[in-house]
Chains A and B, each alone.
Chain A
Amino acid sequence: MAKQITTEDIKRIARLANINLSPEELETFTAQIGDILAYVDKLSQLDTKGAVFKSQTDLSNIFREDIVEESLSSDKATQNRPKSSKKGYIAIKSVLNK
C-alpha cells in the first residue's frame, strides 16, 4: 500500500520539474495525483521476475557517418527571440544569482 502523497511532496517534485504551482493547483493536484498513484500501485502486485524490456524496436547500431551537413543560419536559429545587443546570441536575464 503506497503511502499517501502530501502537498509537500508535490511541491518538491514540481520544483524539480521547474514548475510553479498556485496554492489551488497544489491542493487539487495532490488529491488527483494521489488517486492516480493509488491506481498504478496495482503494478506492485504483479510478479515481474525475469521480465526484461530491452527496446521498442529490434534495431541496433543505427549510426550516421561523420559527415558535415549544413547548419541553420544564426538568424534562423534565433528567430523566435528578439535580436540581442550581442549579435547572434540569444539573451536572457542573467543566471548569476546576485
Chain B
Amino acid sequence: MQTGLYEPVIGLEIHIQSKTLSKMFCGCDARYFQSDPNTHTCPVCLGLPGALPVPNKAAINYCVKLAIALNCKINENTKFDRKNYFYPDLPKGFQISQYDSPIGHTGNMEIPSPSGNKTVRITRVHQEEDTGKSIHENGETYLDYNKSGVPLIEVVTEPDFNNKEDVTTFAKRLRQIVRYLDISNADMEKGEMRFELNISVKSSSTKELPNYKVEVKNIGSISVLEKVIELEIERQSEILESGQTPIQETRGLIDMSGKTASQRTKEAEAGYRYFPEPDIPLIELNKAYVERIKAEIIELPNEKLARYINKLNIDRDIAENIISDPETYQAFEQAISKIDNTIVPLFAKWYAVEYFSLDQAQKHNDFKLEWLTEIIKKVEQREITRTSGKEVLLASFTTGVMPDKIIEEKGLRVISDSNELESEAQRVLEGNPKAVSDYQKNPNVLMFLVGQVMKAMGGKADVKIVTEIVKSKLKSNG
C-alpha cells in the first residue's frame, strides 16, 4: 500500500466502567469481576417486569468530574433517555443512556504529537449502563447478567485523528486521567475500558471528509485498537484504489489480529427510537454543584507534566514515566517533598530509571525512598562513583540494609587523595610514551590515559580529579 496516498480520518468512542460500589440504577454490588454468574442481580438489572431504575449519585458525580477534566461544557439541565434495541444481553430491550442533553459536551484534550501538541475535540461525555455478558459454547448462548447495569461513562471524540499513533496516545492519556480522578481503574483486561472506532480513509490530497464511515465495535485493548486501525486503513484504501467507496457499516472483531467482519443490525439502519426515560426525573447540575466537583479535581496529567518539566526541571521522558499512574507519582511526590529542589531532576532520573526497573522486577525489602536520596547525594558529592551508586541501590533494595553500611561493607568509597592519584598518573604516563607524544595530534588520547589510571585504581578513583591530573601533566610535558 502506498503510504502518503491515503490517510485515515478517525474518531474514537470510549466506554469506561465507573468504580462505584453499587450499580447504576440498583443496589447490586458493581464489583462483579469473576463472581459466579447471576449472583449480582436483582429485578432492576435483570429487567424483570415492574422493576424501576433509580440513578446512583456517585456515578453521576464521576461522570461530571470526567467531563470537567476534559474541559467540557456541563449541561445544567440533563436527563436520561431510552436507547431501544434487542439483544439477549440487554434485558430490558432498551439501554438507559443519554441522547440530546449529555452531561458534558464540546470539550477537548491536548496530546503530545510528533508534530507538536495536538488538540482533540471531545464531542460529548455521557452516562449510561452496561449490558450483561454472553458466552457462546456448544451451540448455546449462556447469559450472565452480573455486568448488566454497571455504570458506564461514554466519551466520544470528533474525527480529529489522522494517524494511529495519536489515537493510542489519546487512549493512554484518557486512561491516565480516569485513574488520576479515581473514577475507574480502567483495567482493560477486566473490560473496564473499551473502545469503538469510527474510521474512514481519504486521499491525502483532498481536504474534504470522506462520505462514508465504518464503525468497529467492542475493542478491548490498545494493542488491538492499533491493529484494527492498520487493517482497516489497508482494507478501505484497497477499495478506494479500485474506484469504489467502502460500505458504511458496523463491523466487529473476528479475532485479536485486528481483522473485522460486517455486523449489520436493523437498529443500526433504523435508529434507536430515543425518547426521554419517563421513570427517572430530570437532573439539574447547577453551578454550585459543578464548582464543588471541579474543586475535587487534583492536578491532571498534562498539568503535572508541565509542572515537572518547567518548574522542577525534570527531563520530559523521565517526567512522562513518573506521571504515568497515580501510585508512581504519589510515591515520587512524597519522596521529593523532603529534598532540595535542586536535587529533584537527578532524583527523578534515578527514580524513573534505576529504581523503576528494580521495582518492576522484584519486591523490595523494606527499602525507603530517602535512601535513594542519600545514594544520589553521595554520587553527586563524588564520594562514590555512579556505577557504585547503582550497585548500592540494588543491594539496599534487595537486603533492606542502609546505603552507608553497604558502602562500608563493599569498600566503595572513591579515592580522591591527589597524592596517590598523582603518582599513579605519573606511572601511567611513563608507561605509555607513544600515547603521550600522540596527544598533540589526537586529544582523544587523554581519555585512553585516564582510563588506564582508573583501571589501575580499580575504578575507585574520582574520574574528574584523575582527568585534571593527567591533563595538566600532559600539558606540562608538551
**Which residues of A are at the interface with B, using a C-beta cutoff of 8 A?**
15-16, 18, 54-57, 59-74, 77-78, 84-96
Q: Mark B133-146, 1 if CB is under 8 A from A, else 0.
A: 01111111111110
Q: Describe A's contact surface by its main secondary structure.
A: loop
A15 and B26 alpha carbons, distance in the complex (Å): 31
Asked if A60 contacts B27 (CB within 8 A), the reply is no
Q: List 8 tightest A-B contacts by C-beta distance, closest first.
A: A69-B27, A66-B58, A88-B37, A63-B57, A89-B142, A59-B281, A74-B38, A77-B38
Asked if A91 contacts B140 (CB within 8 A), the reply is yes
Return chain B residues, CB-CB under 8 Å to A89: 37-38, 135, 142-144
Asked if B28 contacts A71 (CB within 8 A), the reply is yes
Asked if B282 contacts A60 (CB within 8 A), the reply is yes
B203 at the A/B interface (Cβ < 8 Å)? no
Return chain B residues, CB-CB under 8 Å to A94: 136, 139-141
Return chain A residues, CB-CB under 8 Å to B22: 64, 66-69
Asked if B21 contacts A67 (CB within 8 A), the reply is yes
Asked if A92 contacts B88 (CB within 8 A), the reply is yes
Name the interface residues of B126-171: CB closer than 8 Å to any CB of A.
Answer: 134-145
Task: Return the contact of B136 from the options A67, A73, A96 (Cβ within 8 A).
Answer: A96
A-B contact pairs, 9 of them (CB 8 A): A59-B281, A60-B283, A60-B284, A68-B27, A84-B140, A88-B144, A90-B142, A90-B145, A93-B140
A74 and B36 alpha carbons, distance in the complex (Å): 8
Asked if B281 contacts A60 (CB within 8 A), the reply is yes
A62 and B420 alpha carbons, distance in the complex (Å): 82
Asked if B59 contacts A78 (CB within 8 A), the reply is no
**Which residues of B are at the interface with A, using a C-beta cutoff of 8 A?**
20-22, 26-29, 36-43, 46, 54-60, 86, 88, 134-145, 266-267, 270, 276, 278, 280-284
Chain A residue nearest to B137 in the complex (CB)? A86
Nearest-CB distance from B282 to chain A (Å)? 5
Return chain A residues, CB-CB under 8 Å to B136: 94-96
Return chain A residues, CB-CB under 8 Å to B135: 86, 89
Asked if B281 contacts A95 (CB within 8 A), the reply is no
Return chain A residues, CB-CB under 8 Å to B145: 77, 90
Asked if B266 contacts A71 (CB within 8 A), the reply is no
11 further A-B contacts with Cβ under 8 Å, apart from A54-B282, A77-B46, A89-B37, are A64-B57, A66-B21, A66-B58, A69-B27, A71-B41, A72-B43, A74-B37, A77-B39, A90-B142, A92-B88, A96-B141
Asked if A55 contacts B281 (CB within 8 A), the reply is yes
Nearest-CB distance from B456 to chain A (Å)? 69
Chain B residue nearest to A17 in the complex (CB)? B86
Asked if A69 contacts B28 (CB within 8 A), the reply is yes
A78 and B58 alpha carbons, distance in the complex (Å): 29
Asked if B41 contacts A55 (CB within 8 A), the reply is no
A74 and B138 alpha carbons, distance in the complex (Å): 22
Chain A residue nearest to B136 in the complex (CB)? A96
Task: Return the contact of B86 from the options A18, A55, A96 (Cβ within 8 A).
Answer: A18
Task: Return the contact of B36 from the options A65, A85, A88, A90 (Cβ within 8 A).
Answer: A88
Asked if B38 contacts A55 (CB within 8 A), the reply is no
Return chain B residues, CB-CB under 8 Å to A77: 38-39, 41, 46, 145
Return chain B residues, CB-CB under 8 Å to A85: 138
Return chain A residues, CB-CB under 8 Å to B40: 71
Task: Return the contact of B142 from the options A61, A66, A67, A91 (Cβ within 8 A).
Answer: A91
Task: Return the contact of B39 from the options A54, A74, A86 (Cβ within 8 A).
Answer: A74
Return chain B residues, CB-CB under 8 Å to A66: 20-22, 56-59
